[in-house]
Amino acid sequence: MRHCIYPGTFDPITYGHLDVLSRAAKLFDKVTVAVAESAGKAPLFTAEQRVEMITPNLVKWPHVTVTTFRGLLVEFCMAQKGDAIIRGLRALSDFEFEFNMALMNRHLEPKMETLFVMPNEQFSYTSSTLVKQVAKFGGDVKHFVPPNVAAALSRAFAPVRT
């Protein structure tokens, strides 16, 4: 039974994240989406709201679940008996950050491997921050996020636009 952990802030989840997840779901018997509380990033949505937005988008993969974590990722992975951490590389610009993070995680926990997958190139410029910016000013985000996430963004930014 091979189990991977897909960590991130997911504030909010995008089709780019779901593309990475679809690849992980093909490769592993069990996948856990790990939503970092990431207080330092001052997320728009609470960790619970982010989980709520992710959950309906996982129904097609019965072996994929979502939960939150705080503290060190490798400690969470070991507690979950994960075999690997999966991360997406959208473009060359992701590489340096991901490389450093993977090496730091390996230093902290040599047993934990990090694997990288490349999402479809159509998502190479998608990020949660850009999606939030577009939504904040009333732009259409339906190409970047599932309908339930678009609706949550619209509700979150409604006071800003009135």
- To the nearest 10°, the Cα dihedral for 2, 91, 41, 43? -80
Residue 88 pairs in a beta bridge with 117
Closest C-alpha among 105, 51, 104, 57 to residue 77: 105
Q: Kindly give, in sequence order, each residue whose CB lies less than 8 Å from that of residue 18, ignoring residues fewer than 6 positions away.
A: 57, 146
- Our answer to whether residue 128 is catalytic in this structure is yes
Cβ at position 21, least distance to ligand COA in Å: 9
Residue 162: Cβ within 10 Å count: 5
Supply the minimum distance, in Å, between the C-beta of residue 85 and ligand COA: 8
How far is residue 161's CA from residue 11's CA, in Å, rounded to a whole number? 20
Site map for ligand COA, 119-148, x if CB under 6 A?
x---x--xxxx-------------------
- Residue list 38-97, contact with ligand COA (CB under 6 A): 38, 72-73, 88, 90
Taking CB under 6 A as the binding criterion, the range among 13-21, 22-30, 52-60, 152-160 that sits at the site for ligand COA is 13-21
Active site residue ranges: 17, 41, 90, 128
Under the rule (CB under 6 A), what is the footprint of ligand COA? Answer: 7-9, 11, 14, 16-17, 20, 36, 38, 72-73, 88, 90, 101, 104-105, 119, 123, 126-129
